[in-house]
Chains A and B, each alone.
Chain A
């Protein structure tokens, strides 16, 4: 008989989670609730003696000091409503899995097959609520109908003896696993119907290419020989759709584009990726010659660069947007633990040393009606934040850098960028570690989690806009602990040289991981029935395509397999041999001895027809606001500091562990009270060396409305100047580009597709120009091309967004610096020229305008400035350095001042400008490549000597009082404020999140 154990806090113990929930109900929903208590519920479906049950409840499931438990009888008392939230059958239940393991440890025996533990949480609510309100709380705050089941009960319908009663959310599948043949010899309309109904996301040309292949007499003949009759099996069709998905093949970035610019001039771009991204990196590497530090770019799961003679770095950033829109917590958690497996599956495998994350959300305080099937941005914010918190913190990887960008066009699709860097010894067992190679006859071994229906069609799903029938199977929940056990084990196996190749199971599951690894040997043979499943009843194609998390695929030499498997067993990790790599040229899959897929590797990987697309650029012109100079600039500065894109993100930063592994040098929060905004992070990956890594990023979607060319240029510049500001060196930096776009393919539903594609072309042109100008090679990247929300007549498209992430080598971390003003009487300098570049600025946005004068990056001036500044910092001449970005000069000065706990006197008349006659424009223009620097007065001459040849000026000094003062262009005081007041305005907006 299944039973329930409930665990709750004793009456005098504070229930922090309950209090938090109560606060949210009262503040966000304005419902009248006076108290919320939480109860943890374990539903155990296993044969146990009464004595064992007592032991379990008393032992691992409850804390005797603060908790009470009950068995098959409710704990809840004195309430108005009880809401119980559990997971739907098949959704990953991490707590249930741990509880089961703990029970097995305690009893010193394993539970029977099919027995299990399922968890749920009960919220015991006091307050006068209607049934509708209770349901609203359940679905709008406590859980997500996509993955949770709810049981809602009020006090009058409550059964005092049984409470909620026992129900076991066990997966039951009544279908029998089978393989279907699909007839493609139908007309075009029906071909597309097949693509649509099976969620293949293939267009007509692609469907026809597949049809053609299976009608090829030679193919038919060969298939006949192995006993296959006729057209593709569902396994084959699904594998093709996955391999050819936008997610895996990047058809837009690799297609042919006919581009017309604003003058009507046309050109053909054959692959944006080859031409602009890879093209730039190749040129940069050539120019660097002997000092080229790239080891492996664009071919592995992450890009690899040299750190020093003995160590290399593997870095990758991914997005997990579509799943995070459906279930923010699960989506983001899966995003971070998923990207962890990229550097982990690069070369022979890297130890993970830091995470980065950048989010794009709509305003969390959005108060207009929310379109159907969209979660409120505050829920998305909190869910994503928590998912990344659990993924990063539990995995023991410090979160070093990131940002949050707000724009209400992210309402339908939030963007969740997660990145991870790993450290690999340059050589392992005498082999260069950045190279991996499966060999014929190597065994295909799957390690880690088991396979379920979760995440099926993730690769094809993420290549589509969100619509009403989006499959909920696309939602999954990551499991950091299963992954941690797996990575602990694999690093030991790696150092023993037990495998030849490793890759992760992400989008496309085994189909993708085995299919790609088999490119090394030219084929493979895979036996699907050998794959360990979470529950029975999966069709063969589902086993092949499932995106269940926490799995790696390896190529293991048969002579090492026994050692490999026994090490796995000892370290508590499941590993299964699923087949072997071959040189037959075939993608060969069997299920219980029967062939279910037999496709030429060559067709699978090279049979995809190139996409041809049209792009037309037209410059948009926006109204110029011609704002009058405001009379009270102090109030304006307060308002600017409180803007979401400028204000402090401290509450989020603190909830991420940024110090684990012990190498933290420049933290995300710096200054006299550890709360100033750092420009970049620095860490020491090797505890016995002063060598370090600088990490930064740039993201400026707000400029996309005017011109994506300058958006891209500014994003690159922002990342570079952030890294320079802490002491980075432009000669040893590498970049990663992550494009998130709205659908750039013209169609009936998407009438401005050609414009959006032109925006994409322009962004790539800027990437080509500016990475070469700075000599910063891109080593890896990713694109996510359909970030649109479509429901009935409502369509919301994100602004074209690129995250440019940067990693650099620091020779000696002791020479790095931070952004906070250090000492009274230090001199304040501005480096770089301020132009009238208000287009897309926070100041214009504050007044409801976009404008047209978008900031431009003058790369030659900027690079010279960066080299001089690096030199000055290296020589110890700079006390603090902060870059000017959102909110311009005024915001950078204020932040420098209050982070240092010191006042400042600034005179705008000394600032080098071009074409500026108004104080507000000078203060808030967002011209690029500028810094605020403070230096000790006695170093003035030396500093100015090093900076000679650049535009810079002394504009004031740091003061010992607590007043921030700015003299305007007319010589009058235009801003006077207490640094504490400035800081308070800056800290407040997001403090509660």
Chain B
């Protein structure tokens, strides 16, 4: 196999951000990016094994009808590859075992959390320990937020980053851990990667609308202990060019949007480690 970084963006049943997420992978340096409808995996037309980096895009899986990404998590866990006994989830677990990368944004993050992929304590990727639920405001909201990044987290995607400004666009983004013990461990292990912060990107905040949903400890995104599995509510793929920034007509900004950094970090890591 030639040394090429291959990304898959999983689509279907209500994903919405696959196009821009695929484009972000490309801008981040990927050699190949495929938007793959989940039915292609279920019908065995493609396999996760062929890729290094799985992207789970934002959207409304199954309309979020049973709670955000609940029905989606149910599908990804119980779907079988047609005419075989192989669970799609087994492919996914193997993918993780091979040291490959998964990024879930917004609905993709909700999917990861509800399937049990994050935080994945003790490499148990099947048990849910945290959740994302209705914003305290009771509303879906589209607004840009200031995010402080934890420099001590093992997260591959945020390496070298201290802060980032991105939009959230969700109605169910409030992060809640099962209990204090889980929360404590998330902090101790450095798995809290991104937090909603004040305008100066200094302090995590519980103040609305800086913290747009009332997330516990202002948590906006977490990773697993390997740092290779990462999910967050804000949308990096929505900030690929300076013209995406809400104030680009009044601020001096570099042409490249900050959202690309997450993808570049991932692809650099793959190039250095997996190829």
A contact residues vs B (CB 8 Å cutoff): 13-14, 16-17, 19-20, 59-61, 63-66, 94-95, 97-99, 101-102, 105-106, 108, 389, 393-396, 479-481, 484-485, 488, 492, 570-572, 653-662, 664-667, 669-672, 674, 684, 687-688, 813-814, 816-818, 820, 822, 900
Contacts and interface: CB of A to CB of B under 8 A. Distances in A.
B13 A63 contact: no
A105 B74 CA distance: 7
B13 A485 contact: yes
B249 A818 contact: yes
Interface in B226-248: 235, 237-238, 240, 243-244, 246-247
Contact of B176 (A13, A479, A672): A13
Interface stretch (B55-63, B188-196, B200-208): B55-63
B11 interface: yes
Contacts of A61: 66
B71 to A, nearest CB: 5
B144 interface: yes
Interface residues of B, number: 64
A63 B67 contact: yes
A95 B65 CA distance: 5
Interface in B177-194: 177-178
B141 A655 contact: yes
Contacts, number: 181
Q: What 3 pairs between A and B have smallest CB-CB spacing?
A: A396-B16, A662-B20, A98-B65
A394 B142 contact: no
A861 B246 CA distance: 33
Q: Which of A59, A396, A818 gathers most chain B CB within 10 Å?
A: A396
A101 B71 contact: yes
A105 B89 CA distance: 13
A102 B75 contact: yes
Contacts of A108: 78, 80
A654 B246 CA distance: 13
B138 A16 contact: yes
B131 A63 contact: yes
A97 B75 CA distance: 14
A664 B244 contact: yes
B31 interface: no
Nearest to B249: A818
Interface in B70-86: 70-71, 73-75, 78-80
A656 B74 contact: no
A687 to B, nearest CB: 5
Q: Which of B14, B140, B250 gathers most chain A CB within 10 Å?
A: B250
A655 B140 CA distance: 5
Nearest to A901: B250
Interface in B130-148: 130-131, 133-144
A396 B176 CA distance: 26
Nearest to B259: A662
B16 A660 contact: yes
Contacts of A106: 74, 78
Contacts of B142: 653-659
B238 A659 contact: yes
Nearest to A96: B65
Contacts of A656: 142
Contacts of A16: 134-138
Nearest to B237: A662
A669 B39 contact: no
A684 B238 CA distance: 12
Contacts of B151: none
A488 B12 contact: yes
Given A65-B131, A662-B23, A60 B66 contact: yes
A814 B78 CA distance: 47
B120 interface: no
B19 interface: yes
Interface in B98-145: 114, 128-131, 133-144
A661 B19 contact: yes
Contact of B43 (A60, A480, A570, A672): A570
A687 B60 CA distance: 22
B37 interface: yes
Interface in B141-191: 141-144, 167, 169, 176-178
B28 interface: no
A101 B14 CA distance: 14
A94 B65 contact: yes
A14 B136 contact: yes
Contact of A481 (B19, B62, B130, B169): B62
A424 to B, nearest CB: 15
B266 interface: no
A54 to B, nearest CB: 15
Interface in B1-40: 11-17, 19-20, 23, 37, 39-40
Q: Which of A485, A654, A817 gathers most chain B CB within 10 Å?
A: A654
23 contacts: A60-B66, A63-B131, A65-B128, A65-B178, A95-B63, A95-B65, A97-B65, A98-B62, A99-B65, A106-B78, A108-B80, A396-B14, A479-B63, A654-B143, A656-B142, A659-B167, A659-B244, A660-B169, A661-B19, A662-B244, A671-B250, A672-B247, A672-B250
A60 B138 CA distance: 22
B221 interface: no
A536 B75 CA distance: 30
Contacts of B129: 65
A105 B78 contact: yes
A19 B138 CA distance: 8
Nearest to B17: A660
Given A98-B65, A572-B13, A900-B250, 4 more contacts: A16-B136, A64-B178, A108-B80, A658-B142
A395 B17 CA distance: 11
Nearest to A573: B39
Nearest to B182: A65
Given A63-B133, A105-B74, A393 B244 contact: no
Contact of B19 (A572, A662, A674): A662
Nearest to B243: A665
A16 B173 CA distance: 12
